[in-house]
Each structure stands twice: as C-alpha cells, then as structure tokens.
C-alpha cells in the first residue's frame, strides 16, 4: 500500500493520462494528448488575440499573455514528465513497496518521534498545497462569474460563434486539466517520495549507530554475537547501496523535468516582479503578488526543503558510523571504512544533472528575479 498522499494523487494522474499503474494504454494516450491539444488550443487563442487586435497592444497585454503561456508550459512540463516517465515512476513505487523498511519496526526506537514528525510534515505540506491550489483555482476560475463585466480567466481571442459562457467553460476545464491537475499531482508526489526516502536514511543512520552495540555480558555467546554483528553489517550495507541506487533513479526520473521547471519558474517570476514594479492598478498588482507568492511557496515547500532534508539526512551516514563503537571491533574495520567512504558521497537531487536542488538554490531563485 502506498503512502496515503500518493494514493490521493493517482486518480488525478489518471485524468491527465499519466497514471503509472495503467501504463501506456489507449485511454491514457487519449487523455494525455487531449490535455496537450487543449493547452495548445488555449495558446492559439492567446496568439489570435494579438493577430486580431483592433486597439494598440499595451505592455500589460503582453505580460498577461506571457504569464498565461508560462502557466501552460508549467502544466505541460509536469504532465509530460509524469506521462513519459511512467515506467520510472512505477519502478520507484515498486521498489518503495518492496525494499523500504517498514516504519512500524521502529515504533519503540529513539527515532520514532522523528519518523512521526516527518510523516506529519508530509501531511501538513500536502494539505497546504491542496488548500493553496484550491483557493487559487476558486479565485482564478470562479472569480469571473461574480464580476459585472464579462471577463475571462485568460483574456484571449473570442470567436464570434462562441458565446461568453461557452468560452469561460472551455477555459476553466482546460485550466483544470492542463495546469491545476498536473502541477498538484507532481508536487504532492515529489514531496511525498522525497520525504519517505528521507525516513529510510534516518532508519539507516539508526541501524548503523547501533551496529556494533554489544549485548549484556553473558546473555549470548561470542560466536552468536559475531554472527548477529555480521548480519547487522550486511543489512546496513545492502540498504545503503539500495538507497544510493534509489537516489540515482530519482535523479534519472526528475532531473531534466526539474531543470525545465526551474527555467519556467524563474522566467515567470521575472515577469511578475516586473509587473509588480510597474503597474499601478490594484487588480493587476494583486494578481502578480498572488502568482509570485504561490510560485515561491510551491518551489520551496515541495522541492527545496524536502531535497535539503534528504541531503542532510544522507550526510549523517559518516557521522553515524564514526560514533558506532567500531573501534571495539577492529576486525570489521574494512567494512566500517567502506560504509564511511560511501557515506561521503553527496546525495542530492540534481536538476539538469549539474545543479543541486536545496535551500541555496531556492534562495538564489528567489533573489535572482528581483528588479
């Protein structure tokens, strides 16, 4: 059984044609390409607005269109990621079910509270993400219905044969399936799987620290004690190797998509900061502030903070083995040295294969777009 937050996003992934359980079936192909062509249709209507403009095009018209374009690019990057990487995502879930150590095994361990806190963080973060996207969707999509003027969420070309409410319905449905659903699904999925992997590193640190703990004198024979110690070492080494390979699989799955996501978020924030610094009307200012705040929160909460916590927990391996009473068992020095050497390997999510997703990157992205 998957973690409950992943269970909740699987139906959303099905709607956008990216459910890893379904594979590349005809229905999933249809749903995915329907979403893509719907987004392309919206972009086409945005372009037609300028091609058929009767009045002079203003800077605000251009910035609004660019922001809409970035929103659809954001959604398409994430829906395409979850669609194209279906096999990798399914492998991640299968290996998680098969090889992740059960959290219940540490119910009476000193790290139990730490595990519960991480699980609580997953639930609080994902609940906040659901709430934030829901509020934005309500304000963005339902807002035009309560205004006196016939405004649209995306001010695009209005065909004469299409009425206002028909076009409004088309924009609302297109926005939900091409922006809201893929963004929400990938955000929740990513933060969940990264935090669950962090729990595995925390468990491994706990096992390594107690790897050379001796039983009270006279309880068991020295031979049995050595056998238990060998089993502990083997268990830790095997799981350590698995987590290193799992981290590589995470990078193989999300590295390139995260790089494009970074590009989109930086460019979008640049435009929004320009709008904030130049516009005078409250409506445009409010929209720009909401977009900027939402983008920053999404980027930090779902990507930078979880990746930083994962790297910090993995970095503790060397410290755990060093403080594990290894000096009392010199015959296992070679195993200890091997674990320590592997523990010094940097564990990080790398957008594009050359950047590191962490708090430093998050702050750099937040500072870079400032006018």
- Please give the average per-residue pLDDT across 281-295, as a whole number: 74
144: left (phi over 0), alpha (psi -120 to 50) or beta: alpha
Answer yes or no: is pLDDT of 368 > 60.
no
- Residue 214's pLDDT is 65
Calpha distance 75→77 (Å, rounded)? 6
- Please give the average per-residue pLDDT across 213-221, as a whole number: 60
Residue 17: is it exposed, middle or buried by C-beta count within 10 angstroms (0-12/13-18/19+)?
buried
Answer yes or no: is pLDDT of 1 > 50.
no
Q: What percent of the chain has pLDDT over 90?
A: 22
Torsion of CA 307, 132, 142, 157, to 10 degrees: -30
Residue 213, classed as helix, strand or coil, is coil
- Residue 193's pLDDT is 94
Q: What does the pLDDT look like over 336-366, one tens digit per residue? A: 777 777 777 888 899 888 888 888 888 776 5
- Please give the average per-residue pLDDT across 112-138, as a whole number: 88
Mean pLDDT for all residues in the chain: 82
Residue the block writes with tokens 């934005």: 136
CA separation (Å) from 17 to 72, 97, 111, 131? 17, 23, 39, 23
8 A C-beta contact, residue 125 and residue 191: yes
Calpha distance 178→59 (Å, rounded)? 26
Calpha distance 72→78 (Å, rounded)? 10
- Residue 145's pLDDT is 64
Answer yes or no: is pLDDT of 15 > 70.
yes
Q: What does the pLDDT look like over 49-107, one tens digit per residue? A: 777 766 777 777 777 777 788 888 888 889 999 999 999 999 999 999 889 998 888 87
Calpha distance 351→213 (Å, rounded)? 40
99, two tokens: 């090889």
Domain ranges in the chain are: 4-367
Give 244's pLDDT tier (boundaries 50, 70, 90).
very high
- Please give the average per-residue pLDDT across 208-225, as a whole number: 68
How many Cβ atoms are within 10 Å of 278's Cβ, its own excluded? 14
Residue the block writes with tokens 């979403």: 35
- Residue 104's pLDDT is 85
Q: What percent of the chain has pLDDT over 70?
A: 89
Residue the block writes with tokens 């009270």: 216
Calpha distance 170→327 (Å, rounded)? 69
8 A C-beta contact, residue 103 and residue 202: no
- Residue 369's pLDDT is 45
Q: Which residues contact 325 (CB under 8 A, 6 or more apart)?
A: 212, 213, 214
């Amino acid at each position: 059984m998957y973690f409950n937050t992943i269970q909740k996003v699987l139906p959303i992934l099905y709607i956008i044609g990216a459910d890893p359980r379904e594979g590349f079936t005809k229905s999933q192909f249809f749903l995915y390409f329907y979403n893509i062509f719907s987004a392309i249709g919206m972009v086409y209507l945005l372009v037609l607005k300028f091609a058929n403009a009767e009045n002079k095009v203003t800077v605000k018209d251009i910035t609004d269109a660019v922001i809409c374009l970035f929103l659809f690019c954001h959604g398409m990057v994430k829906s395409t990621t979850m669609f194209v990487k279906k096999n990798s995502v399914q492998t991640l879930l299968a290996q998680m079910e098969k090889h992740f150590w059960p959290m219940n095994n540490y119910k009476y361990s000193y790290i139990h509270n730490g595990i519960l806190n991480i699980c609580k963080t997953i639930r609080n973060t994902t609940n906040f993400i659901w709430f934030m996207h829901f509020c934005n969707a309500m304000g963005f999509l339902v807002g035009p219905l309560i205004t006196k003027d016939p405004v649209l969420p995306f001010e695009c070309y209005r065909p004469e044969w299409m009425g206002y409410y028909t076009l409004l319905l088309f924009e609302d449905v297109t926005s939900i399936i091409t922006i809201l659903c893929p963004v929400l699904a990938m955000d929740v999925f990513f933060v969940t799987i990264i935090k669950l992997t962090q729990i595995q590193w925390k468990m491994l640190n706990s096992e390594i620290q107690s790897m050379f703990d001796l039983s009270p004198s006279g309880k068991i024979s020295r031979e049995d004690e050595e056998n238990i110690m060998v089993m502990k070492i083997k268990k830790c080494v095997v799981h350590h190797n698995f987590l290193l390979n799992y981290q590589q699989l995470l990078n193989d799955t999300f590295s390139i998509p995260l790089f494009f996501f970074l590009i989109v978020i930086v460019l979008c924030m640049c435009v929004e900061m320009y709008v904030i610094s130049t516009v005078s009307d409250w409506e445009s200012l409010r929209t720009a502030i909401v977009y900027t705040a939402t983008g920053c929160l999404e980027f930090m909460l779902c990507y930078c903070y979880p990746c930083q916590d994962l790297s910090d927990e993995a970095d503790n391996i060397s410290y755990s083995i060093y403080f594990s009473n290894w000096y009392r068992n010199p015959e296992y020095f070679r195993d200890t040295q091997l674990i320590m050497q592997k523990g010094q390997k940097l564990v990080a999510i790398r957008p594009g294969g050359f950047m590191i997703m962490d708090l430093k990157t998050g702050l750099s992205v937040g500072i870079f777009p400032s006018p």
